[in-house]
Amino acid sequence: MRKASVAIVILAAGKASRMGEGGKHKLLAEFDGVPLVRRSALTALGADAASVIVVTGHRRSEIEAALDGLALTFIDNPDYASGMASSLITGFSSRDA
């Protein structure tokens, strides 16, 4: 069966500021020992899309480490602090999208 010709973009660049100053990052929070961002990526990969793109920024290395070994495309958004729109643009503008 042919894969869908759509890409899934996971926004994982933000500061998770609603978690409180200096608090835990929501995407790195673990549920049953699995970081939330990894759970999201596994769900996206199971959707059989053409590609799964993860936009990173804040705590990039930790996010990428939590996703190690998965068939994902990582795109860094150096302007992540300006807001979610910049991450959306970064993800949708990637050549794999």
Q: Please report, as a single letter, which amino acid is at residue 66.
A: A
The residues facing 9 across adjacent strands are 53
Average pLDDT, integer, range 12-21: 68
The CATH code that applies to domain 4-93 is: 3.90.550.10
Query: pLDDT tens across 19-30, in order?
Result: 555 556 788 888
Long-range contacts of 20-24 (CB under 8 A, 24+ apart): none
When mean pLDDT is compared across 14-28, 34-48, 52-66, the lowest value belongs to 14-28
Q: Where are the domains of the chain?
A: 4-93
Q: How far apart are CA 57 and CA 81, in angstroms?
A: 8
CB atoms within 10 A of CB 18: 8
